Amino acid sequence: MIVAFYIALPAIARNAPQTSDPKLNSLLDWWKRGWDQTQTLAPSQVSQNPFSTTSTVLSWQPMRLTDYSGRYEVWCCTSDGKPFLRLGPTADGTPSSPALNFLNADAAYGLATRTALSSWNIVFGDFSAPISLKTPRAAMEITLKGAGPATSAASGSAGAAQAGYAAVSVDAGSTPYATALLSYRHNGATVSEVGVPASPPTSSARFFVDYRTESTLAGSDTKVDIDTGFAAVNRGNGPASVSFTLRDPEGQIISRGTGSLDKDAHLAAYFNQLPEIAPGFSIDPSFPGSTHFGTLELSSDQPISSSRSVLLPTSAAKCS
């Protein structure tokens, strides 16, 4: 007598099954290689391309469209805690969105995507991990007449201070010298100000480092901690690999490390925070107490703009 066994397998080309059973896993691999990477899994590696004040384009890792036609959907929320709303499907299985032209300047958004597979009906996949973006402020125009100066100002909000940057483009004429003056006012009084010069993109830069603890101010018994703040912006065509080299006053290399900076991303930190940014970089504990000064060299495979300033952190100020 011959007994025949039939195994009914699901139409896994339009689902996203999972199993922890090794035997079932092997059987499914034999029946359909790549069954666990089918269309309705959540898209991965979602990223946003360079954006303006009102538009951006999303891209992601494509799914395997093996047996049926499929497309993607893009969803958006306008602030934390609010539900995502469907913006609409893509025209086909191309793993990028049309230009999203609904954005407002100086606004925060959350964006996600999911698959939508067409078979006998529509089967939706899981949502990708959402990404967030903050659009820049609208552009301000400044006209320089002859050799004279010109200024423009923007008021910040009453919320927590935010780090960012402004990109300057010249429509006509030669590139002028420019400085951004950041001013903090409280109850109508200016508490602090710092000037940051415009910095053209470059592949290498070097600046002076002043890093001291318990330093006595001239003509006073007040002791303060002094640190050097620096900022960098990646204006290149892709992620930047940035190498940091610290030298002592005699030019001897003290430390080296390498960090990364995403395209159009901004970094602002104190010198003593560099070990958190560049793996391998270290600052000897004796530096702020005895060495005090040095130079920091930045080298990048993408053009970056950088600037620095010497700061006295108020949280570190001590009086004796």
Q: What is the pLDDT of residue 106?
A: 74
Task: Give the range among 34-43, 44-53, 184-193, 217-226 with minimum mean pLDDT.
Answer: 34-43
Q: How large is the average pLDDT for residues 18-31?
A: 68
At 295, the pLDDT band (50, 70, 90 cuts) reads very high
CB 115 within 8 Å of CB 127: no
Is pLDDT at 249 greater than 90 in this prediction? yes
Amino acid present at 3: V
Cα-based angle 44, 22, 28 (whole degrees, multiple of 5): 65
Is pLDDT at 248 greater than 90 in this prediction? yes
CA-nearest of 236, 229, 279 to 258 is: 279
CB 133 within 8 Å of CB 102: no
At 268, the pLDDT band (50, 70, 90 cuts) reads confident
**Report for 38-47, 96-105, 278-287: range of highest mean pLDDT:** 278-287
Check residue 141 and report its DSSP letter.
Answer: -
Task: Give the range among 172-176, 228-232, 243-247 with minimum mean pLDDT.
Answer: 172-176
The answer to pTM > 0.85 is no
Is pLDDT at 187 greater than 90 in this prediction? no
CB 72 within 8 Å of CB 83: no
Q: Which two tokens stand for residue 319?
A: 């009086």
* 202-238 pLDDT per residue, tens: 999 998 999 998 887 777 787 888 888 888 888 888 8
Q: What is the pLDDT of residue 8?
A: 41
Residues in the chain: 320
Q: How large is the average pLDDT for residues 2-12?
A: 42
At 38, the pLDDT band (50, 70, 90 cuts) reads low
Q: What is the pLDDT of residue 10?
A: 43
Cα-based angle 121, 124, 126 (whole degrees, multiple of 5): 165
Q: What is the pLDDT of residue 138?
A: 72
Mean pLDDT of the residues in the chain: 77
CA-nearest of 203, 179, 180, 183 to 193 is: 183
Domains and CATH numbers, the chain: 12-51+61-134 (2.60.40.10), 200-319 (2.60.290.11)
Percent of the chain scoring above 90 in pLDDT: 15
> Which comes out higher in pLDDT, residue 102 or 230?
230
